[in-house]
Amino acid sequence: MSSRSNNGIGMELGECIHNTGFHEVDKPEDAAAGDSESRCSMPPDGQLDAYTQIKPYAGMPKEVLLLYSHQARYRLPREILFWLIIVSTLALVGLTIAVIALSPACLSWWQSSPIYQIYPRSFKDSDGDGVGDLKGITEKLQHIEFLNIKAVWISPFYKSPMKDFGYDVEDFRDIDPIFGTMQDFDHLLAAMHDKGLKLIMDFIPNHTSDKHSWFNLSRSGHEHYKDYYIWAPCNSTRPPNNWVSVFGNSSWTYVEDRKQCYYHQFLKEQPDLNFRNPNVRREMTEIVRFWLEKGVDGFRMDALKHMLEAKHLRDEPQVDPLQDPETIDTEFELHHDYTTTQLGLHDILRDWRVEMDVYSREPGRYRVMITESYDYEEIEKTMMYYGTPYVKESDIPFNFYLLDLPTNLTGDGAQGLVNLWMTNMPAGKWPNWVVGNHDKPRISSSAGLDYIRVINMLLLTLPGTPTTYYGEEIGMENINVTVDQIQDPFGKFNPNSSRDPQRSPMQWSSEPNAGFSDSNTTWLPLHPNYTTVNVEAQQKDSGSVLAQYRAMSLLREMEPSLQRGWMCYVWSDANVFVFLREMDGLDKAFLVVLNFGQDSVLNLSNVKELPEWLTVRMSTRPENDGKMLEKSSIATALGEGLLMEYSTEVRFNPGHASQCFVSEKACYLKALDIMYKC
């Protein structure tokens, strides 16, 4: 027998012992007595089973609960449920680990979005002086959003005497008043981040302005700064060697104060820094940190191949050994064995990459490093900026080879330029494509208006990151600049090489000055077609260049095959360049047919991986959108691009390995609607 006291009320559990203090409510005494007798009935043998003497009831004490909890009918379900929970939890953890382990890395922001280049002098003038500025960019951020672009590269806005429009930097930690103030920059950066946009700055490490405080101290012979630049013995009539500036003539300028010449690979107002001086490297690294602390999302690093020179200062070999040395005055007349891509250059860049990686640790704040070095036919030098399999360097070295498309305007020519990059790019690296910038003529002018749409389609359907120069999304053209209107220092040296025509103000509307400025004059003339070729007009036209650019940008973001799938060459000839984009496991794929020649009818019957009929998802001629085309008869007009969608379980890439490329291979698992490494 056991007993328990609770709140002074005794309860006894035993062999039929009466609790005289208990009375059921609303029951007469005789009924209660009868119930008591009934409960005290004994089995015939007089033995009471512990499990049957008392039945479970609400509020039962622990002693009763424990008696019943050990019964098999209660214990087994409990144990089964317990182990099911354990097994399910372990299975869920294991599945989560497997998904994480097998999932391909997410594309970073600089991979998933096109990059939009803004030349700040020409984008939007907010203060009426005829020159674009930072506040003007802030005012027009909704245009970037409209294009579905997340990354913006802004050309230099540092404090500068503007001899080369910002590429001659007087102070790396200040904003030139023509563009605004540091407060304007902070506001622009905050506004961009609020909208989910990323800001990439131009960084110009090779040289400074001759107005920079470092150079003034160096030319005066200050002990700490005297070797911040490249100085060599010379006299006022004879330079140290035959090295030639990018802008023409000798790259040496004599300074009477030091009785020496300083070296400049660009204008004489842009003296080259001496990166063999550890103090210079330390100073420039601090500048990188300064802007990263501000919150910028990356750098496009300019003119990197020029950063180091051979210490011996020997003459560079002539391209034509028979040419009179006295007549050499352009960079193309010398082999630049001693003034570009010198040993030690990539060590400097890797140090900067380490600095940027420190600031990339914050989730969602990866800092991108883009390098600029156009090495012409020596493309293997450009590829070195990707780094090695073990040492990271640039995320993408700018690919300028598509800038040559206007002089290779055929299907074969387009494929050749694309293939040049893809076959030389190290395995697993990310490609990128540039068709226009502030130094090259606009595509609408160099290739022709008939081809602007198809070139934009090429740019947005190739694998990798496309870069669009402001105005290309509406088909802006070069302007005509008279000799007395030339602003570009390169153009003043050689009017035929002026870069002003491609730098004209952005055409926002049909209002005076194209909505760019309220000033009576603008720093460069506007193209006279701004009344019809402008953002406002094209936003209202579903068939405009702008509308098609935006639709392609949205489609690129939506379709995994276009973002990170295989790119496989299918066909090229004098007229068309054809490739497809597909992803293993995904039954949707795209065939891209681009006409860079004349009207053409293409027969792809021999491509067994393609179905007989394909649907035109998008054409540069809107009237063809949605049409069904037979693969044996795909017609394209001059300058037309077709993005055709098809469904198939048969993949093209396994049987055509030499024609296919992928940077970060991923497969699609339909059952779970996920991508995985394969």
What's the pTM value of the predicted model, to 2 decimals?
Answer: 0.87
Residue 16 pLDDT exceeds 50: no
The closest alpha carbon to 566, from 465, 666, 455, belongs to: 666
Q: Which two tokens stand for residue 560?
A: 């995994």
Q: What's the CA gap between 432 and 583, in Å, rounded?
A: 19
Q: What's the CA gap between 559 and 580, in Å, rounded?
A: 13
What is the percentage of the chain residues whose pLDDT exceeds 90?
A: 81
Q: Which residue has the tokens 């563009």?
A: 179
pLDDT at 54: 57
pLDDT, tens digit, for every residue of 84-123?
A: 999 999 999 998 888 788 788 889 999 999 999 999 999 9
Task: Please check whether residue 470 is in contact with residue 514, taking contact to mean a CB–CB distance below 8 angstroms.
Answer: no
pLDDT band at 397 (very low <50, low <70, confident <90, very high): very high
Non-local CB neighbours of 300 within 8 Å, separated by 6+ positions: 153, 200, 201, 202, 203, 370, 371, 372, 398
pLDDT, tens digit, for every residue of 576-631?
A: 999 999 999 999 999 999 999 999 999 999 999 999 999 999 999 999 999 999 99
Residue 374 pLDDT exceeds 80: yes
pLDDT at 10: 39
pLDDT at 55: 67
**Highest averaged pLDDT of the listed ranges 26-35, 64-73, 544-553:** 544-553
State the alpha helices, DSSP H only, in 559-645.
560-564
pLDDT higher at 215 or 236: 215
pLDDT, tens digit, for every residue of 411-424?
A: 999 999 999 999 99
List beta partners, residue 368: 298
Q: What's the CA gap between 637 and 149, in Å, rounded?
A: 29
CB atoms within 10 A of CB 366: 19
pLDDT higher at 62 or 390: 390
Q: Which two tokens stand for residue 543?
A: 């068939």
Residue 534 pLDDT exceeds 70: yes
pLDDT band at 37 (very low <50, low <70, confident <90, very high): very low
Q: What's the CA gap between 535 and 474, in Å, rounded?
A: 7
pLDDT band at 671 (very low <50, low <70, confident <90, very high): confident
- The mean pLDDT value of the chain amounts to 91
Q: What's the CA gap between 37 and 39, in Å, rounded?
A: 5
pLDDT, tens digit, for every residue of 163-217?
A: 999 999 999 999 999 999 999 999 999 999 999 999 999 999 999 999 999 999 9
- Tell me the Cα Rg of the chain: 37
Q: Which two tokens stand for residue 286?
A: 């601090």
- The residues carrying an active-site annotation are 302, 372
pLDDT band at 56 (very low <50, low <70, confident <90, very high): low
Residue 379 pLDDT exceeds 60: yes
Q: Which residue has the tokens 């293997």?
A: 380
**Mean pLDDT score, 51-63:** 66
Task: Please check whether residue 534 is in contact with residue 546, taking contact to mean a CB–CB distance below 8 angstroms.
Answer: no
pLDDT at 432: 97
pLDDT at 312: 96
pLDDT at 404: 95
**Mean pLDDT score, 469-487:** 96
Task: Please check whether residue 268 is in contact with residue 209, taking contact to mean a CB–CB distance below 8 angstroms.
Answer: no
pLDDT, tens digit, for every residue of 301-332?
A: 999 999 999 999 999 999 999 999 999 999 99
Q: What's the CA gap between 399 and 534, in Å, rounded?
A: 28
DSSP assigned state of 5: E
State the alpha helices, DSSP H only, in 541-606.
545-558, 560-564
With H, G, I as helix, E, B as strand and everything else as coil, classify residue 615: strand
What is the percentage of the chain residues whose pLDDT exceeds 70?
A: 92
The closest alpha carbon to 446, from 508, 502, 493, 506, belongs to: 502
- Give the CA distances from residue 329 to residues 23, 312, 321, in Å, rounded to whole numbers and listed in that order: 120, 21, 15
Q: Which residue has the tokens 């294991």?
A: 94
pLDDT at 673: 86
Task: Please check whether residue 587 is in contact with residue 649, taking contact to mean a CB–CB distance below 8 angstroms.
Answer: yes
pLDDT at 614: 97
With H, G, I as helix, E, B as strand and everything else as coil, classify residue 454: helix
Q: How many residues belong to the chain?
A: 678
**Mean pLDDT score, 47-75:** 68
**Mean pLDDT score, 475-481:** 97
